[in-house]
């Protein structure tokens, strides 16, 4: 890679990281405005970045740590006012909705797979008629003959290829000898 391309790639990566950091700042501000606890999963979901980025990037980690420490210094709401329970309820509801969507998708996939397997079982349980059995035996025999023919053709082609490679090596050696004679 040339130095210009390397510098351009480094600059593009730096800009992408800076953009993600801005998304993290906006997410933290939004969570604090809505009085939602600032956690790594909540910030990652709100900012549209991965948790790995939040843990790996020191600036993002510092932003979240600062927000968490500021939240810890806030005055705790009076018991029974629901100040802390509502955000946790909201978080649990979002997690439950995501889990429900995943479960529905998994159930649909399992139902499709079960339908396919039941169809295969029905096909296997059905006894073929004597004519169908004879047809299957004939098709099997013709397929075996075709496999033998293709194997033979493949072997012939491999032998021809090896012969052509050998001829090519001989020609290369002969050309090299003739060139050596010309230079002398």
Into how many domains does the chain fold? 1
String of b and e for 64-75 (b: at least 16 CB within 10 Å)?
A: beebeeeeeeee
What's the rounded Cα separation, in Å, for the pair 91 and 95?
6
- Tell me if 174 is assigned to some domain: yes
- Tell me if 54 is assigned to some domain: no
Range of the domain at 163: 154-184
- Tell me if 43 is assigned to some domain: no
Supply the pTM of this predicted model. Answer: 0.40
**Most distant pair of Cα atoms in the chain: their distance:** 104
- Coil, strand or helix at 155: helix
Tens of pLDDT, residues 20-61: 999 999 999 998 888 888 888 889 999 999 888 888 899 998
- Tell me if 176 is assigned to some domain: yes
Q: How far is CA 43 from CA 73, 74, 88, in A?
A: 19, 19, 14
- Tell me if 83 is assigned to some domain: no
Q: What is the pLDDT along the chain (184 residues), one digit of tens a residue?
A: 677 888 888 898 999 989 999 999 999 999 888 888 888 888 999 999 988 888 889 999 898 888 888 876 654 454 444 444 455 777 777 788 888 988 999 999 999 999 999 988 887 777 777 888 888 899 999 999 999 999 999 999 999 999 999 999 999 999 999 999 998 8
- Tell me if 168 is assigned to some domain: yes
């Amino acid at each position: 890679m040339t130095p210009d391309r390397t510098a351009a790639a480094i600059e593009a990566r730096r800009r992408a990281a800076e953009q993600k950091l801005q998304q993290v700042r906006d997410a933290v501000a939004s969570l604090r405005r809505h009085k939602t606890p600032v956690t790594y999963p909540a910030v990652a979901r709100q900012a549209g970045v991965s948790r790995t980025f939040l843990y790996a990037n020191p600036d993002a980690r510092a932003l979240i740590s600062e927000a968490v420490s500021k939240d810890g210094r806030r005055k705790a709401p009076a018991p029974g006012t629901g100040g802390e329970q509502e955000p946790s309820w909201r978080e649990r509801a979002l997690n439950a909705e995501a889990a429900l969507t995943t479960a529905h998708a998994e159930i649909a996939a399992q139902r499709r797979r079960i339908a396919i397997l039941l169809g295969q079982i029905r096909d296997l349980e059905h006894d073929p008629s004597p004519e169908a059995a004879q047809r299957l035996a004939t098709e099997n025999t013709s397929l075996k003959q075709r496999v033998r023919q293709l194997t033979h053709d493949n072997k012939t082609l491999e032998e021809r290829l090896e012969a052509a490679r050998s001829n090519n090596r001989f020609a290369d050696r002969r050309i090299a000898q003739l060139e050596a004679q010309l230079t002398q």
